[in-house]
Structures are given as structure tokens and as C-alpha cells.
């Protein structure tokens, strides 16, 4: 019972501090003495929209006139993109990314994407990882 009261007080204090600072994250602290190991994955993702062999295709788009945009707001694409070890497609396919993306920005073009990265070679053959996030395409153009 006393534990619950302490928890309740802690929650109230928490709410008070959040209200004053409007901060949604804590201080970042080192994750000490972790038995976990880290592997950095590094590969290239080839998304080809259009042409003879597209790896991404338009599934649906709104029936409003969307101007000259390839992907007006509301367009949905499905993809099956090769992943390679190097920047060239000839550098060896090590897996594929399957999923979809939707054109989700009304004012600034951006996408929300769901990708499942599946590996078909090496130590992680048969494993996959999923990413579901937004992609502000106009922000990071090379
Ligand atoms: C959009 O769909 C509606 C309902 O089917 C139709 O009446 C309208 O003509 C369509 N608009 C365009 C631009 O195709
Ligand atoms: C990946 O795993 C599959 C299924 O176990 C196997 O058939 C294939 O030969 C493996 N590929 C490589 C490059 O190791």
C-alpha cells in the first residue's frame, strides 16, 4: 500500500515537472555493463520507380488532379527492392526490402514507409528487421 502511495507521488511529481519543462525525454545516460553485443549493418537500398523493371509500383492514388508530382498526397506504392553490399547493383545482392510507402505530406512532400529488410546471405541469411517510420524526402536530397 505504501509502495503504491510512493508511486502515486512520483507520478504526480513527474507530471508537474513535465508540465513546467514540456520535455518528453530523460537525460541520456550510458548503458553500463551490458552483456549485449552490437553489430552495425551497412548496405545499399535500390528503389527503382518506373522504367522497364521497376522495383516499386504505384498501387493506388487519389482521384484528384495532383499536378505534376509523381506521388501526389495519398499515393501508395508497394516495393521489393534489392539490397547490395556496395553502392552498385552489381556489387552482390545480399537481401531485399519489401513493404510499402505512402505519400503523406500535404504541404511538404514526405513519405511514411514500412520496410522489412530480409537478408539472403551471410551470417544473417534468413533474418529480417522492420522499419516503420517517416521519410522527409526533400530534406536529405544529395
Ligand atoms: C473521382 O471519383 C468520382 C466518384 O467515382 C468521380 O465522380 C469523379 O469523376 C472522379 N474524378 C476524377 C478526376 O477522376
Ligand atoms: C540462405 O539460406 C537458404 C535457406 O536456408 C539457403 O537455401 C541458401 O543457400 C542460403 N544462401 C546463402 C548465400 O548462404
pLDDT at 120: 95
Alpha-carbon distance 102 to 137, whole Å? 12
Contact 122, 98 (CB under 8 A): no
CA proximity to 103, closest of 135, 125, 131, 81: 135
pLDDT at 12: 45
Ligand 2 within 6 A of 125 CB? yes
pTM attached to this predicted model: 0.72
**CA of residue 76 relative to chain centroid, distance:** 16
pLDDT, one tens digit for every residue, the chain (142 residues) = 444 454 444 444 444 444 454 766 778 777 777 777 888 889 999 999 989 999 999 999 988 766 677 788 999 999 999 999 999 999 999 999 999 999 999 888 899 999 999 999 999 999 999 999 998 888 765 5
Tell me the best of 120, 122, 124, 127 to mutate to test the pocket of ligand 2, counting ligand atoms within 8 Å of each CB and taking the most: 120
SS3 sequence of 43-85: CEECCCECCCCCCEEEEECCCCCCCCCCCCCCCEEEEEEEEEC
pLDDT at 121: 93
Ligand 2 within 6 A of 126 CB? yes
Contact 81, 56 (CB under 8 A): yes
Amino acid at each position: 500500500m505504501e509502495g503504491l502511495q510512493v508511486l502515486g507521488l512520483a507520478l504526480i511529481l513527474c507530471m508537474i515537472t513535465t508540465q513546467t519543462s514540456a520535455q518528453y525525454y530523460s537525460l541520456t545516460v550510458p548503458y553500463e555493463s551490458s552483456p549485449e553485443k552490437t553489430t552495425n549493418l551497412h548496405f545499399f537500398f535500390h528503389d527503382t520507380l518506373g522504367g522497364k523493371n521497376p522495383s516499386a509500383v504505384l498501387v493506388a492514388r487519389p482521384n484528384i488532379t495532383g499536378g505534376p508530382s509523381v506521388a501526389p498526397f495519398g499515393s501508395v506504392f508497394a516495393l521489393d527492392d534489392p539490397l547490395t553490399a556496395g553502392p552498385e547493383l552489381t556489387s552482390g545482392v545480399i537481401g531485399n526490402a519489401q513493404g510499402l510507402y505512402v505519400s503523406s505530406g500535404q504541404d511538404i512532400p514526405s513519405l511514411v514507409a514500412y520496410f522489412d529488410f530480409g537478408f539472403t546471405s551471410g551470417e544473417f541469411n534468413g533474418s529480417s528487421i522492420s522499419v516503420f517510420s517517416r521519410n522527409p524526402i526533400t530534406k536529405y536530397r544529395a
